[in-house]
Homo-oligomer: A and B are copies of this chain.
């Protein structure tokens, strides 16, 4: 199998409404990485936000124990949440909040749960890209129910990882690439090609500002394709949501 081109994404698909309880849900795949994103609406806000007349969006990230090549213990069995798990949940939450007009939500909490079913690199970026779809569906659900007015979701956000391999920069690292990348960069982008968040780490060596620029070029080059995958998922009208009581599989 020839190596994927440096500027090429793996196949990116986002299936809307894979399960029926959440107000919004999406199954996002970046190649073999699969993340189930569920947006849940609650008629409350965290204690520190009560009485301010605006809402909140937060995110939680986790992996199923065998999403990875070897089995990991559940955080609940170890009695504490791993630093990595919390750190990624905080990143996803910041990214999604950046595109929401929180006062338009009223005093509501939307929690976006991103659970990795299968991990093959890039899980946090897939979670942001698919989490946006789950969030958008939940907000559309609120609008259709006349609970909020239009305008709660003025922005759009998507993300992709880039790295530097032995022969140069590579977009959308899978696990085997990630394991040998000298530098790793996660880029969270708004639809107008501005930056929502950037996190770059020299895993094996420091990197130059030129290398940073080259990696950002690759990330922004992929933005249209990521937005298109979101568009495709959101184009399915909400009424097409599978009614409860019919059997179906997550990716049906």
A interface residues, Cβ below 8 angstroms from B: 1, 10-11, 13, 15, 19-22, 25, 27, 29, 31-32, 34, 36, 38, 40, 42, 60, 62, 64-71, 74-77, 79-81, 83-87, 89-90, 94, 98, 111, 113, 115, 117-120, 190, 192, 194-202, 205-209, 212-213, 216, 244-252
Contacts and interface: CB of A to CB of B under 8 A. Distances in A.
Contacts of A67: 19, 21
Nearest to A175: B244
B200 A212 contact: no
Say how many copies of this protein the assembly contains. Answer: 6
Given A90-B87, A113-B64, A31 B250 contact: no
A161 to B, nearest CB: 14
Contact of A86 (B15, B87, B209): B87
A172 to B, nearest CB: 12
Nearest to A113: B65
Contact of A117 (B212, B216, B247, B250): B250
